[in-house]
Structure 1
Amino acid sequence: MLSTEKQIERSIKARPKGALVFPDDFLPYGSPEAVRKALDRLEDRHVLVRVAHGIYVRPRESELIGTVLPTAEEVAEAIAKRDKVRTVPSGSYALNALGLSTQIPMKIVLLTDGSPREIKVGRRSIKFKKVAPKTLLAKGKVSRLAIQALKELGNGHVSDYEEKKIVEHLRMEDVAILKHDIALAPVWIQKIMNKALTDVA
């Protein structure tokens, strides 16, 4: 019978390079303590790289820069998927995602219906901020970003350029989803979002 370490190694090598893994993924192979020790040994052997506490990646290699680690955004997405929680980017992260800010936020703030926590990923951090479930009801990938980006800019502080850019993005959203999400937004944000529905059937 294969050891816990060998079973985990086989499982990892069956995954694509760049895949993120968590200790819980390997609980069928041994006790939590056995899994932890096996992951430590696999890290020492460079089969895995630890990207944050309790989060590992099967590394990808680049001839130019060596080991390529996942971005903080990819880590955040993997955590949300693992925990089966909803998340919505907020603040400067939402602005950056819509191209309204070229500054890469050092702290990613995600509104969530899951547990609040903060995770360090290299020099950046991911903060899961627990909010009321109704804050997460927006369905559209673009419209929920737009709502949070506009909240970050503030009522009366949205430039013509920023408004135009947001409306352009919103035109790519499914109309039925956009109408659903507009109804969830504050009135001043609804007025901006509704501009994306003009000339749309």
Structure 2
Amino acid sequence: MDKMSTEQKILQRMDQENTGSIFINADFLDIAKSNTLRKSLKRLVDDNKITRILDGMYTKLEFSRLLNKQIYPSPVSVAHAIARKFNWYIFPSKNTALNMVGLSTQISNTYEFLSDGPYRNYTYINSEIIFKKSANKKIKIDSDSLVTLVVALDSYGKSNINLKEINIITSYIIENKITIKILEQNKTIPGWMYQLISDILKREAEK
């Protein structure tokens, strides 16, 4: 049986994940050495078998039958891939978090994240992804979705949350698969937020 080429091994690994997942060079370092890997990835891009998102970041684009076109990963997904590439811990700024959760309807093409890395600015399609260095150490939560919700709730304020906001938050929790288990693993979040999310999860479980 013929041995698989480096390109075939890369494609096989990408096919094991959901279409649209973003990969970085480090995800393939067990397949080939850096120089060989770069050449193989370039060939795959040149052959239109994969798409280069940013330097050292690749994906197999998802095709939307509804829109009849290929869909690029979201700027938020790209931001997290960048953070993974450089081993940064990131969380969204207040305005970005509010937009991601749906508590703000203000349209913006700028996605701002705070991180323990340096200041960086990336242009991705028609969006701008900005990383700002932050000394904030208090937000250490093992769930990107929950971090985003905590930042959004902190910005929105407890006194401003009514039925409309609860419905929006509920949709976000369901869509992003925030569970009781995830919540229980992160009990350091402010008490009122913990109670709000816990109550929503309990109501959904009873339906």
Q: If the TM-score is normalised by the length of the shorter chain, which range does it land in? A: 0.5 to 0.7
The aligned residue for residue 135 of structure 2 is 132
Amino acid in the other structure paired with 1:25: D
Q: Mark the runs of 5 or more structure 1 residues left unpaired by the alignment.
A: 184-189
Shift of the alpha carbon at 1:133?
4.3
Alignment partner for residue 54 of structure 1, among 53, 56, 79? 56
How many residue pairs match? The answer is 185
Shift of the alpha carbon at 1:57?
0.8
Structure exhibiting the larger radius of gyration computed from Cα positions: 1
Q: Once structures 1 and 2 are overlaid, which stretch shifts more, 84-93 or 43-52? A: 84-93
Shift of the 136–180 alpha-carbon distance from structure 1 to 2, 3 Å rule, reads closer
CA deviation digits over 1:4-52, x for unaligned, max 9? 3333233333433222111221222333232122111111222111222
Shift of the alpha carbon at 1:72?
0.8
Distance 2:164 2:86 in 1: 30
Map residues 122-161 of structure 1 onto 2, 5 A cutoff. Answer: 122-137=125-140, 144-145=147-148, 148-149=151-152
3-state SS in 1 of match to 2:189 = helix
CA deviation digits over 1:104-128, x for unaligned, max 9? 4312111122444233221112222
Distance 1:34 1:179 in 2: 45
The aligned residue for residue 68 of structure 2 is 65
The aligned residue for residue 29 of structure 1 is 31
Distance 2:184 2:31 in 1: 46
Shift of the alpha carbon at 1:102?
1.6
1:16/1:58 contact within 8 Å kept: no
User: Do structure 1's residue 5 and structure 2's residue 7 form an aligned pair?
Assistant: yes
3-state SS in 2 of match to 1:110 = strand
1:93/1:104 contact within 8 Å kept: no
C-alpha RMSD over aligned residues: 3.9
Distance 1:29 1:145 in 2: 34
3-state SS in 1 of match to 2:19 = coil
Distance 1:88 1:163 in 2: 22
Q: Mark the runs of 5 or more structure 2 residues left unpaired by the alignment.
A: 200-207
3-state SS in 2 of match to 1:105 = coil
The aligned residue for residue 19 of structure 1 is 21
3-state SS in 1 of match to 2:53 = strand
2:103/2:165 contact within 8 Å kept: no
Distance 2:119 2:28 in 1: 24
Alignment partner for residue 120 of structure 1, among 119, 123, 127? 123
3-state SS in 2 of match to 1:127 = strand
1:120/1:126 contact within 8 Å kept: yes
Amino acid in the other structure paired with 1:107: T
The aligned residue for residue 204 of structure 2 is none
Shift of the 166–144 alpha-carbon distance from structure 1 to 2, 3 Å rule, reads farther
